């Protein structure tokens, strides 16, 4: 065959913990190891590849989440999986529901309307993983009163995901208001000196607010994943022990 499109067989035979699809080793063991089945990162995969991996994961776990799915692939995949749901803003495709439902609440805040695609990726991921989610959108610091109007709600959240593009100042202000962990998400929304999101990323990393950590630009999924792990830990509870030192 002079015009070859498939990949040569991989060296490793499939072993029990994962299945080798040639182009991918589907990691069945991940749920046991990390508490959740593998999530599919849709960017750079064809609808057909996604469908194949989804099939394997649904067989094994009964549910699956796919992120970064564009509308065209989204339509194709809900054809293939009538029980799946696709959301245009977040570009998330979800199938099945979380077995667990954690106590507490994840609040997702975002600074501007254009940051919604990241905020919704976070919100929907957190919901799919079993969290209660509250949304508070378009509360950027240049109109600080909009944010202050919700101060009480903000302080009630168990974990806060704060999404911001432009100068990325919102997490610093929120971080100084609460006694709970804040996960900051910079977005690629901005222009010029914004450097495709590097500026809010650096802003958030150098924040003078304590209790805050940062994920990659536009990585709403990653922030939600960590938030869910925190609620999971809090829901399971921790034992009081004597300090070691």
* 172-201: contacts with a second copy (CB under 8 A): 172-173, 175-183, 186, 188-201
Taken as a whole, the chain contains a residue count of 245
**With contact defined as beta carbons under 8 Å apart, do 175 and 210 qualify?**
yes
Do the bridges between strand 133-136 and strand 106-110 make them parallel or antiparallel, or are there none, so unpaired? parallel
Pick 59 or 165: Cβ nearer a second copy = 165
Is 64 near a second copy (CB under 8 A)?
A: no
- The least CB distance from residue 134 to a second copy, in Å, is 4
Query: Which position among 66, 112, 122, 163 is part of the footprint of a second copy (CB under 8 A)?
Result: 112
Query: Which position among 54, 96, 105, 122 is part of the footprint of a second copy (CB under 8 A)?
Result: 105
Is 212 near a second copy (CB under 8 A)?
A: yes
Rg (CA), the chain: 20
Q: How far is CA 223 from the centre of its chain?
A: 5
Query: Which position among 158, 162, 163, 220 is part of the footprint of a second copy (CB under 8 A)?
Result: 158
Query: Which position among 47, 64, 66, 223 is part of the footprint of a second copy (CB under 8 A)?
Result: 223
- The least CB distance from residue 96 to a second copy, in Å, is 13
Pick 29 or 56: Cβ nearer a second copy = 29
* 26-45: contacts with a second copy (CB under 8 A): 27, 29-30, 33-36, 39, 43-45
Q: Whose CA is closest to 30, among 67, 56, 69?
A: 56
Helix (H, G, I), strand (E, B) or coil at 143: helix
Is 123 near a second copy (CB under 8 A)?
A: yes
Helix (H, G, I), strand (E, B) or coil at 96: coil
Helix (H, G, I), strand (E, B) or coil at 146: helix
Question: Rounded distance, CA 197 to CA 200, Å?
Answer: 6
* 5-24: contacts with a second copy (CB under 8 A): 5, 7-12, 15, 17-18, 20, 23-24
Is 70 near a second copy (CB under 8 A)?
A: no
Burial group, residue 115, by CB count within 10 angstroms (0-12, 13-18, 19+): buried
- The least CB distance from residue 112 to a second copy, in Å, is 7
* 75-104: contacts with a second copy (CB under 8 A): 75, 78, 82, 84-89, 101-104
State the sign of the Cα–Cα–Cα–Cα dihedral 139, 109, 69, 87: negative
Between the CA of residue 69 and those of 89, 97, 186, 216, 234, what are the distances in Å? 10, 19, 20, 18, 31
Pick 66 or 107: Cβ nearer a second copy = 107
Is 215 near a second copy (CB under 8 A)?
A: yes
Is 52 near a second copy (CB under 8 A)?
A: no
């Amino acid at each position: 065959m002079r015009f070859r499109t498939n990949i040569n067989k991989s060296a490793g035979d499939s072993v029990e913990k994962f299945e080798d699809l040639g182009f991918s080793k589907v990691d069945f063991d991940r749920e046991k190891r990390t508490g959740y089945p593998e999530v599919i990162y849709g960017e750079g995969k064809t609808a057909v590849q996604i469908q194949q991996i989804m099939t394997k994961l649904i067989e094994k776990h009964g549910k699956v989440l796919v992120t970064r799915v564009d509308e065209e692939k989204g339509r194709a995949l809900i054809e293939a999986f009538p029980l799946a749901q696709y959301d245009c803003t977040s570009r998330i495709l979800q199938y099945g529901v979380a077995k667990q439902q954690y106590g507490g609440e994840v609040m997702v805040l975002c600074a501007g309307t254009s940051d919604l695609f990241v905020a919704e990726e976070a919100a929907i991921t957190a919901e799919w993983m079993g969290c209660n989610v509250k949304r508070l959108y378009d509360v950027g610091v240049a109109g600080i009163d909009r944010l202050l109007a919700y101060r009480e709600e903000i302080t009630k959240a168990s974990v806060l995901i704060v999404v911001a593009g432009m100068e990325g100042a919102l997490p610093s202000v929120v971080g100084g208001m609460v006694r709970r962990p804040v996960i900051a998400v910079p977005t690629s929304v901005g222009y010029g000196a914004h450097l495709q999101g590097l500026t809010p990323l650096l802003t958030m990393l150098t924040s003078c607010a304590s209790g805050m950590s940062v994920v990659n630009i536009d990585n709403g999924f990653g922030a939600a994943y960590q938030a869910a792990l925190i609620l999971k830990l809090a829901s399971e509870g921790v034992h009081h022990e004597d300090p070691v030192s």
